[in-house]
Amino acid sequence: METFLSIYSDDVADLATKYHNRALNDLELTSIRSLIAYVAHEQGASGATVAAMVDARFGADGMNQLHRKDYNEVVRFLVDLNIKETLN
């Protein structure tokens, strides 16, 4: 006998995959852009440099190419980023 979970588990997995592969929403993009500006200001770099580092790290061609599944990792990356150590 099939259970509720066995019947719908594939549907739930498909929905989760579709959700995580969606582009970041406006609030998430604003948060990341604000954090990029903060990191750039605090570390004496340009926002373009920090944004390029995020793009390179996450294989994106601009902020609009980032996925929701990447959001937490992007925030962690920016919080931990030390530009001088990375560029030297």
If 0-12 CB within 10 Å is exposed, 13-18 middle and 19+ buried, where does residue 66 land? buried
d(C-alpha 56, C-alpha 49), whole Å: 10
Residue with tokens 């989760």: 16
Name the pTM for this structure.
0.76
d(C-alpha 32, C-alpha 24), whole Å: 10
H-run or E-run covering 83 = helix 83-87
Confidence class for position 8, pLDDT limits 50, 70, 90: low
Region label for 62, one of left (φ > 0), alpha (ψ between -120 and 50) or beta (otherwise)? left
Confidence class for position 58, pLDDT limits 50, 70, 90: very high
Question: Would you kindly state where each structural domain of the chain is located, as residue ranges?
Answer: 15-87
Residue 5 pLDDT: 55
Task: Report pLDDT digits (tens) over 12-57.
Answer: 566 556 656 788 999 999 999 999 999 999 999 999 999 999 999 9
- Using N-to-C axis directions, what is the helix angle for 47-58 and 71-80, rounded to 10°? 130
